[in-house]
Amino acid sequence: MPRFGTDNRVMPRLDTDNRVMPRLGTDNRGMPRLGTDNRVMPRPGTDNRVMPRLGTDNRVMPRLDTDNRVMPRLGTDNRGMPHLGTDNRVMPRLGTDNRVMPHLGTDNRVMPRLGTDNRVMPPRSLAY
């Protein structure tokens, strides 16, 4: 009988036991997991299950605040989608939170004004 992850021609490789361990990024039948390319090589910045990067496809999205499973960019939700008020580069601007929502007293580019705290309060002439 062929072993898991092999066909009936495959000899076990060095550093494996006689059951022939499947490659990283595959299930125990040697089939590639969702989000991998057809070479089944894990990508840099992923765990050995080959999690796709944020914002790629809708298959297996990593969670926020993970360790080796790709941190999401600031200004995005946990699917890698930009929030309202961001430009198409999804870079958060100074004085905004990591959701880059426009605040009162700012223009639609969410630029903080001098003399404000990090919540971008409107200037005194508008606040009183």
Q: What is the rounded average pLDDT of the residues 70-89?
A: 50
Does the pLDDT at position 14 exceed 50? Answer: no
CA distance 117 to 127: 14
Q: Nearest CA to 98 among 109, 90, 106?
A: 90
| pLDDT tens column, 47-62 | 445 444 444 444 444 4
**Domain residues of the chain, as ranges?**
1-71, 73-128
Q: What is the predicted pLDDT for the residue at 79?
A: 54
Q: Which long-range contacts (CB under 8 A, 24 or more apart) does 74-78 make?
A: 74/98, 74/100, 75/99, 75/100, 78/54
**Which helix H or strand E contains 124, and what residues bound it?**
helix 124-127
> Cβ(20)–Cβ(27) under 8 Å?
no
pLDDT band for position 128 (cuts 50, 70, 90): very low
